[in-house]
Amino acid sequence: MEERCSHDTRYPSDMNDIEWNIIRPYVDVREHLGSPRTICLRCVINALFYKNKTGCQWQMLPHEYPHPSAVYWYLKKWTDNGAWKRINDDLVIRLRRKAGKEDSPSLVIIDSQSVKTTDVGGDVGFDGGKQVNGRKRHIAVDTLGLLLVIVVTAASVQEANSAVFLGPKMQGRFPRLQKILVDGGYKEKFIGWFLEHCQWIVEVATRREGARGFEVIPLRWIVERTFGWFNHFRGLSKDYEYHVDISESMVYLASIRIMLKRLSRRKSKIYQNANC
């Protein structure tokens, strides 16, 4: 019997039918044990998109959505079983194919962003360079700016030491990958780890010699643009979560929401760059 949405909402962050049909196979899995489910999963995901977009507190979710405790329970469940990562990875492949690219990128761009945390606690640290007390988001994107990997650590973890967190999540996933592009903050220790464990070349993108004032560095701007996309989600303006795995899921949710909108369009407006 076909389930119908039990909550009639009209918020801009809600999914349309096309977007729900894309994401539904990943989350609408019948359990073999227990009583029949009574919560609308489409409403649960719409509630997560709403919270991530608006940055509201859990207890201030609109009453049209399921109870906040139920929404958080599903968020934690899909975080623990890796659903958000699987959804993100598959949507990345679909968008890359739509842009005429191979499933696996040959070039990846890595950067980090330090954000403040609240008094909720958890794993936090101080970033002396950015003068931020909180957490650091380390992301890897392809040349379309699509999120490939997200790792959240204490802000005290320096870029040069982030390879041990990013590397294991990248190993074995990208058969075509040959080069990683980073900025000057990623030093020999970072470069050596990827060369030793993955045989990938890490190139440090720098400004032209003698350049003065602001200068756009080729390809480096792509990862900055991705951070700019995430700035449209108020739930990512700070890190509001206690657990870092939930923090990573909130970033995946923003990425998934962006890609769902693109996949539901007839024509892609993705920036295309070479055959990377």
Domain boundaries, the chain: 17-81, 103-208+215-236
Q: What is the pLDDT of residue 268?
A: 41
Burial of 209 (C-beta count, 10 Å sphere; 0-12/13-18/19+): exposed
pTM: 0.90
Q: What is the pLDDT of residue 229?
A: 97
For residues 159 and 20, give the distance between their C-alpha atoms in angstroms, rounded to a whole number. 37
Instruction: Give the pair of three-digit tokens for residue 203.
Output: 């190139």
Q: What is the pLDDT of residue 32?
A: 66
Each residue's pLDDT expressed in tens, for the chain with a length of 276 residues: 345 565 566 899 999 999 999 999 999 877 666 777 888 999 999 999 999 999 999 999 999 999 999 999 999 999 999 999 999 999 999 999 999 999 999 999 999 999 999 998 899 999 998 899 999 999 999 999 999 999 999 999 999 899 999 999 999 999 999 999 998 888 889 999 999 999 999 998 876 666 666 656 678 899 999 999 999 999 999 999 999 999 999 999 999 999 999 999 844 444 444 455
Q: What is the pLDDT of residue 210?
A: 64
Q: What CATH number should be reported for the domain whose range is 103-208+215-236?
A: 3.30.420.10
Q: What is the pLDDT of residue 207?
A: 67
Q: What is the pLDDT of residue 59?
A: 94
Q: Give the chain's length.
A: 276
Are the CB atoms for 258 and 89 separated by under 8 Å? no
Q: What is the pLDDT of residue 141?
A: 97
Q: What is the pLDDT of residue 245?
A: 96
Q: What is the pLDDT of residue 213?
A: 63
Q: What contacts 166, CB < 8 A, 6 or more positions away?
A: 110, 138, 140, 149, 151
